[in-house]
Structure 1
């Protein structure tokens, strides 16, 4: 999988406990390149980890981020609005916030 080494050196706990490989058959239909389970972390950690995710994606790649931190909903929305990324999908289900984020292309000179 491209960029499977994302964030490996930044936080070993994140690498080992929080990053999950995507279920290829299930997610290929949805166009999800990576999944990140940030459930159980308190705000602002999910937003900070989501920033690392966005920074590590290639333009056009998508990531599903899940968190249970209610305060992270607005933080992650603000983060997306201020980065070259688009929120493709958002849902709250059983106390879990699901964000499907796509990295946008950055034009030269921006």
Structure 2
């Protein structure tokens, strides 16, 4: 179950990563966020961020040119 959805379509690197990091800081452990982006660089940058900060990439989907990340706060 997703607790929050944020749409960062239209933003270019590094903004989707920075905004995702900021949003994750406001969340509690176990909460799930859906992040929607259309910047192709985010496909590697967001997983790299999650690896660095220890949060979990539950799923990555592609839909109509958008990348949809489902992330669980550690």
Report the TM-score, using the length of structure 2 for normalisation.
0.96
Give 1:84 deviation, angstroms. 2.7
Q: Which residue of 2 aligns with 1:79?
A: 49
Unaligned 5+ segments in structure 1 are 1-30, 105-110
Report the TM-score, using the length of structure 1 for normalisation.
0.65
Q: Which runs of 4+ in 1 moved over 6 A?
A: none
Q: Which residue of 2 aligns with 1:93?
A: 63
- Higher RCO, 1 vs 2 (CA within 8 Å, ≥6 residues apart): 2
User: What is the count of residue pairs matched by the alignment?
Assistant: 74
- Aligned pairs for 1:59-74 within 5 A: 59-74=29-44
Structure with greater proportional strand content: 2
- Aligned pairs for 1:14-93 within 5 A: 31-93=1-63
Max radius of gyration: which structure? 1
Unaligned 5+ segments in structure 2 are none
